Structure 1
Amino acid sequence: MHDRSPPRRQKTSQVPASEAAITRKAPARSKGQARTTRAGDDALIVELGSRVKRLRTQAGLTLEEFAAQSGVSRAMLSKVERGEKSPTLAIIVRIAKGLNVSMSALMGAEPDAAQVAVIRKANRLAFKDPETGFERHNLSPSHLDNDLEFLLHRIPPGESSGELPPYKVPTEKYLVVHEGELTVQTGDANYVLGTGDSFYFDVREPYRFINAGRIPCAYYLVIRRRRV
C-alpha cells in the first residue's frame, strides 16, 4: 500500500515579502582573497547584465515595456543591465519571466542535444542570492526539446526564496527534502516538510520556499513545463 497522506498543511498568515535577513559573520579572508572574490563576483554581475540587455534587445522590448512585463522597476532593470546591481532571487525570477526564458537560460545555460552529458560539480550553473544566501544549482543539461529542469536548492536558517510569481505556461514542481526542514507556501497555506519528505504542486499562484529551522535546508527540485 502506498502512503498517499498529504503533507502537513498549516493555515498561517502570509510571511512578509521583505523578510529581515539573519546577520551572519563571514569567515575571515586575507585582503588578497577578498579582492579576488570581489573581482570574480563583479565579473559575473556584469556578464549577467549584458545577457539581460541582449535578451531584452532581441525581444524588441524597451526598458519601460520590460518593466511592465517583468514587474521589476525600470530603475532596477537599468542597474542590472549596467552591471551595477546583483539581483535577488525574487527579482531575477521576474526578469526571466519578463523575457519569457527559463532562469537557467538567463544564467547562461546553452542548449545541449547530446545523448549523454556529464556535468561536473565545479561546472554547475549556480546562483546565490546576495541578500539571503539562497543557492540555486542547475543539475541538468539544457536541451532544446526538453521541458524538464533538475535543481538543487539550499536555504540558510531563517531565510526564504522570497515571493516567486507563477509562470506564463502551466508548470509543475516536484521536490524532495534532502536536509533540514522546508516550508512550501502557496496561496494562503503552508506545507511543512521534513528530511526525506516529498512534495508536488501545480504552480498557479505566487509561492515561496522557507527554511524556518535552525539548520541549513537542502532539497532537490524538478520543474516540468507543460506545452500548451
Structure 2
Amino acid sequence: MSEDIYDEYPSLTLAKEAGEQHIEPLKLGHRIKDIRAKLGITLEEASQRTGLARSTLSKIENEQISPTFQAMQKLANGLQIDMPQLFEPPKKMTASGRRDITRNDQGKPHPTQTYEHELLATQLSNKRMMPFKSRIRARSFEEYSDWVRHDGEEFLLILEGEVMFYSEFYEPVVLEQGDSVYYDANMGHMLVSLSAEDAQILWVTAK
C-alpha cells in the first residue's frame, strides 16, 4: 500500500467484502486514543514507548494530522499490538448487563518510572471508566519530566499512606488515607508519596 494514502485521508474507511454493506468510517486517531486508554498509559508514556513526539501523538489522536506509515509502525511496535488492530472497526455495545470481577492483587500490572499501576476490569472493552490501583513510587516533584495530562475526568481515593497532590492551577495539597479528589485530567497533575511506604490509591478515569 502506498504511504501517500495515509497523508491524504485523516480517517481510513473500512468496508466489508464486495457486495456487502459498508460499515461506519474508522477515525484512526480515535482508535489510537482508545487503544492507549485501554493500556492505561499517558501521552507522555506513549511518546517514550513509540519514539513519537507527545505533540505529534496528540495531533494524531485529535484527527488534526494523519499518521504516516512509518508512524503507524512505531505506534504498533511501541504499544505492542499488531498493525491490523489499528484498523479494527469500533465494536457496538449490545449487552444490557456486563460484569467483570477482579480479585485482590489479580489485576493487570503496568509499572512505570513513577507509578506501579494495577489495571482493573480488563476483560471489558469499550468502558466509559477505567479503574486501576496504583502504588506511588515518586518521592519528589523533580522525578517527573513534565505534567501528566490526558483527556477526560479523573477521581482518586487514597487507600494507604499519604501523598502530595500537585495540580497545574492549584496549590499542592496533602491527601491522607480516605481522602479523595475529582479533577479535570487535561489539567497537569502528578502525585508523590510522603509516607515511608509507597502510598496506594484507587484511580478511576472517565472518558
| TM-score, with structure 2 as normaliser | 0.50
| TM-score, with structure 1 as normaliser | 0.46
Between 1 and 2, higher relative CO (CA 8 Å, sep ≥ 6) is seen in: 1
